[in-house]
């Protein structure tokens, strides 16, 4: 384990706060995952296929919003 001190400036109170003897456990075994295990990945692609990208480069891309 490592022991460190941290300083943080609190903008609301305009004071410097210091935390000393902060213990960081580098041996934490359980890794936290970014995504829940029950979430499935999607294989759908939203990119325009290459053969369409050249023909669409000359079109008018203006969007009319209902007003």
What is the tens place of the pLDDT at every residue in 22-54? 777 767 666 666 666 666 666 655 555 555 545
pLDDT of residue 27: 72
Pairing state between β 15-24 and 2-10: antiparallel
Rounded Cα distance, 45 and 56, in Å = 18
Average confidence (pLDDT) over 50-61: 53
Q: 6: which DSSP letter?
A: E
pLDDT of residue 19: 84
């Amino acid at each position: 384990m490592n022991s460190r001190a941290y300083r943080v400036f609190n903008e609301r109170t305009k004071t410097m706060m210091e935390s000393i003897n902060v213990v960081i456990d580098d041996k934490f075994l359980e890794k936290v995952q970014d995504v829940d295990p029950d979430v499935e990945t999607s294989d759908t692609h939203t990119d325009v296929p290459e053969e369409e990208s050249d023909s669409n480069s000359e079109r008018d891309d203006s969007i009319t919003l209902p007003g």
